A and B are shown apart, each in its own frame.
Chain A
């Protein structure tokens, strides 16, 4: 799968009209620089050899030079990793902590007010764009109530409290669509589990409802929930790009937008490869976690 992604990212640049070396070198490059890149990437040789050279470099961690930031793309990505990682981790934490209990309760009281409210919320969550929600929250929480800073980012090493304060609002913003997604699937799979015979058995032997819901229904619904958390990473990455832009967080998402605006192709390629790698790797880990979530699954 990652191999296919690499080929696609490689072809993305080769299939564009124009000289890839000139595109990679940027608008301000001299003809010597362009010639250097052309020789470096073997652009005068067959496509398949070009790919070999390129993938060899990528595998050794050499993603090329950003002509806008004037440093290695790999270094650039490493520098911007902390804010994005913190934002994503906090978002997933909030989303799972809110969505799983809500989804399970909605399924438990199927058709009740919580169920209806949650389903309404989830359609709304899918429809309200991240940046509209972001501005709504900034306006309400930061400007009207003055509880949290409007924008910006503080490194965790500088001040943990300020770090958290700057990150809470972006994480809540980003978690809404994720909550909608996870809660929907949790509700559906818990609902299905609740219809099974073993639930009737558990109730018949007089177990407390909470135990039936958590140990029997939710535990059996764990695999689809884990799956949707993994699939949702794609939405999360898209959301990171927007959220970081709105809240002025200097992370990978912001880097992506800056790179596109500057037409900095080595950086664009690098970021896409990196995000895709993370997405596939997380989904692989989740696939492996099925062994723990469902003892019947063996690899």
Chain B
């Protein structure tokens, strides 16, 4: 495939596949249940061994590869299970933002009467910094996985809408759309059957960037203490928990931080690569 001739695409997807495998295989990689704790194993440094109490009340020996936190939980297990949450939130938020943005963008671009009002609302949403929208939504609806995903997706919808709308405005002038219109094809069929397929490549690029941003924003929300509930092991939550004693035990912040940075970097590089291969016009602009 020509896509994989691009170094960025190759690098990004290889790293992401590795992370995905880590996330799926987390239970078999020497981890323990990430919520387990043991008072005797608090604040261990990376590589030290201690013990951990299972749900059955049994105490087993365990090596804390990345150390433990102030409750005596295994950072290594928590980071690995956190990969699941991050990847899921990133993917889900991108899909939600794309779905809403595509419908809104197609409507605004194709149904002219809707264009003005709809785009004014989108302008308004774009005028509020993304992080504030997300924080406000999470604050109103109390944080849970679906709320956080929607809260992260909302500020991204206007960008997708704008992109789709501008594509539609170009594509609708194409002869094959004119032909379909003159044959009496219904508007919905023209929008989804004729116009949508031609927006796939730029949307894929945009979706990748949204995914990277969503992973970052989820970690920020959790880190600030307003994201997912503290008992769910996410990278942001691990860091929020570890920040209190960062001076004495930097590993609580360090390991999830590195995972987070590498993941976002991989997704961003993948996005750059996709943009360069799929959309040479856009590549020249930025």
- Which residues of A line the B interface, CB within 8 A? 1-2, 4-5, 7-9, 12-13, 16, 23, 123-124, 126-132, 135-136, 138-139, 143, 150, 184-185, 188, 234-235, 237-238, 241-242, 245-246, 256-257, 260-261, 263, 265, 268, 271-272, 275-276, 279-280
Contacts and interface: CB of A to CB of B under 8 A. Distances in A.
B201 to A, nearest CB: 21
Contact of B265 (A123, A184, A234, A280): A123
Give 6 closest A-B pairs by Cβ, nearest first.
Answer: A4-B124, A238-B131, A132-B257, A127-B265, A127-B264, A237-B129
Contact of A242 (B141, B223, B250, B253): B223
Nearest to A132: B257
A276 B264 contact: no
Given A129-B216, A245-B224, A260-B138, A2 B269 contact: no
B129 A234 contact: yes
B226 A268 contact: no
B265 A1 contact: no
A272 B268 contact: no
Contacts of A237: 129, 131-132
A256 B220 CA distance: 14
Interface of B: 120-121, 123-125, 127-132, 135-141, 212, 216, 219-220, 223-226, 239, 243, 246-247, 250, 253-254, 257, 260-261, 264-265, 268-269, 272, 285-286
Contact of A8 (B124, B141, B219, B285): B124
A272 B140 CA distance: 14
A124 B265 contact: yes
Contacts of B123: 1, 4
A280 B127 contact: yes
A188 B286 contact: yes
Nearest to A191: B284
B223 A131 contact: yes
B268 A139 contact: no
A90 B243 CA distance: 25
A259 B219 CA distance: 19
14 contacts: A1-B120, A5-B127, A126-B212, A131-B239, A132-B260, A136-B257, A185-B286, A234-B129, A238-B130, A241-B131, A241-B132, A241-B224, A257-B135, A260-B226
Nearest to B263: A127
A125 B265 CA distance: 9
**Which label, helix, strand, loop or mixed, suits the secondary structure of the A interface?**
helix
Contact of B128 (A8, A139, A188, A235): A8
B250 A276 contact: no
A131 B220 contact: yes
Given A123-B265, A272-B136, 16 more contacts: A4-B121, A5-B128, A123-B268, A127-B216, A127-B268, A129-B260, A135-B254, A245-B224, A257-B135, A257-B224, A260-B138, A261-B225, A265-B139, A268-B135, A275-B132, A279-B127
A238 B141 CA distance: 20
B268 A126 contact: yes
Given A7-B124, A242-B224, A276-B127, A129 B261 contact: yes
A123 B212 CA distance: 12
A143 B253 CA distance: 15
A237 B246 CA distance: 25
A138 B246 contact: yes
A132 B261 contact: yes
Contacts of A272: 128, 132, 136
A4 B118 CA distance: 11
A79 B216 CA distance: 30
Contacts of B247: 143, 150
A245 B220 CA distance: 11
Contacts of A276: 127-129, 132
Contacts of A184: 286
Nearest to B125: A8
A260 B139 contact: yes
Given A4-B124, A188-B285, A260-B139, A123 B243 contact: no
A16 B243 contact: no
Contacts of B243: 135, 246
A178 to B, nearest CB: 14
Contacts of B239: 131-132
A104 B260 CA distance: 31
A121 to B, nearest CB: 12
A273 B240 CA distance: 27
